[in-house]
């Protein structure tokens, strides 16, 4: 987009410069005006437009310098490299770890650009803890002792902590076939426990949803509120029983007694 902007500004600047040169040539370099009746009106109109053209030319020159400076910064920082990588990660949900690692190891790239690219990769790809430690370690080598760099690196520290808190969603680390290795046994046990905990949580959610539905006023709340209120007449009590059933262990399931008792208000 920036190259097209440079070309458009250059074209417009050239057109304005040509108009300024034409006006100055028609007015004799600005020293006088041909006062013949046939040309006076045209030259006056042309000369009056000269200040606006000069101001427009100055503005275009300023814009062109800004665009050129921006292009130089982009070229020096090699923004196009991590911009393409970020786009592929976000749009296709596919990140090449090797490319990310190559970018992070580039000594010429600014630390803030490395942190940005790494943050995008970690948040989108949800890598394993080993990959997180490896990539973060590469970036950490370039932090040094500068306070500004340490402040920037806190971004990755925060993301890493957040990923550790949501570790059940991360890819489980690979375990070698050596079942006698205590490390492998502990790792397998940890992820087995995490998987079982997640399954138990899902089952609990299903059971709870059956009791408390998605209504704003939950059924359990309405039931408790109804039975705690006064039933001032058999009709009111019958309506409550018809909606919530009569919870009497001596009555068959689903049946409502012929005559409902008058219930008094619940004493808290």
What residue ranges do the domains of the chain occupy?
2-77, 79-169
d(CA 167, CA 198): 11
Determine the average pLDDT of the residues in 62-81. Answer: 80
Q: Read off the pLDDT band of 56 (50, 70, 90).
A: confident
- Give the position of tokens 């209120």: 229
Determine the average pLDDT of the residues in 92-114. Answer: 79
The pLDDT > 90 percentage for the chain reads 0
Determine the average pLDDT of the residues in 221-234. Answer: 67
Question: 10 Å Cβ neighbour count for 60?
Answer: 19
**Least trusted range by pLDDT, from 4-8, 109-113, 123-127, 258-262:** 258-262
Is the pLDDT at 34 greater than 50, yes or no? no
Is the pLDDT at 266 greater than 70, yes or no? no
Q: Look at phi and psi of residue 254 and say left if phi exceeds 0, alpha if psi is from -120 to 50, else beta.
A: left
3-state secondary structure 175-193: CCCCCCCHHHHHHHHHHHH
Q: Which tokens hold the place of 245?
A: 């059933």
Is the pLDDT at 215 greater than 50, yes or no? no
Identify the CA nearest to 170 among candidates 202, 133, 117.
133
d(CA 224, CA 221): 5
Determine the average pLDDT of the residues in 77-87. Answer: 77
Backbone angles phi, psi at 172, to 5 degrees: -65, 145
Identify which has the larger pLDDT, 154 or 42. Answer: 154
Tell me, what's the pLDDT at 148?
A: 84
Most confident of 9-23, 64-78, 81-95, 178-192: 64-78
pLDDT digits (tens, 9 = 90+) for 161-204: 777 776 544 454 444 445 555 555 555 666 666 666 666 666 66
Determine the average pLDDT of the residues in 244-264. Answer: 55
Tell me how long the chain is.
268
């Amino acid at each position: 987009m920036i190259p097209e902007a440079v070309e458009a500004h250059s074209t417009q600047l050239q057109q304005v410069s040509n108009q300024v040169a034409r006006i100055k040539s028609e007015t004799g370099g600005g020293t006088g005006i041909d006062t013949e009746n046939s040309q006076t009106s045209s030259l006056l109109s042309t000369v009056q437009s000269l200040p606006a053209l000069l101001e427009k030319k100055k503005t275009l020159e300023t814009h062109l310098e800004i665009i050129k400076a921006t292009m130089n910064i982009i070229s020096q920082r090699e923004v196009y490299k991590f911009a393409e990588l970020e786009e592929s990660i976000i749009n296709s949900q596919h990140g090449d770890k090797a490319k990310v690692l190559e970018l992070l190891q580039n000594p010429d790239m600014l630390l803030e650009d490395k942190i940005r690219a790494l943050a995008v990769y970690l948040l989108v790809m949800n890598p394993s803890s080993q990959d997180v430690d490896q990539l973060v370690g590469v970036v950490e080598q370039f932090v040094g002792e500068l306070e500004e760099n340490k402040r920037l690196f806190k971004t990755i520290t925060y993301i890493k902590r957040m990923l550790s808190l949501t570790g059940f969603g991360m890819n489980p680390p690979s375990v070698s076939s050596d079942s006698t290795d205590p490390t492998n046994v502990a790792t397998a046990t940890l992820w087995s426990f995490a998987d079982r905990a997640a399954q138990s949580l899902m089952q609990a959610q299903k059971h709870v949803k059956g009791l408390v539905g998605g209504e704003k006023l939950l059924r359990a709340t309405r039931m408790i509120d109804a039975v705690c209120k006064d039933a001032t007449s058999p009709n009111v009590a019958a309506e409550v029983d018809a909606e919530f059933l009569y919870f009497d262990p001596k009555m068959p399931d689903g049946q409502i007694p012929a005559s409902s008792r008058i219930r008094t208000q619940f004493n808290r």
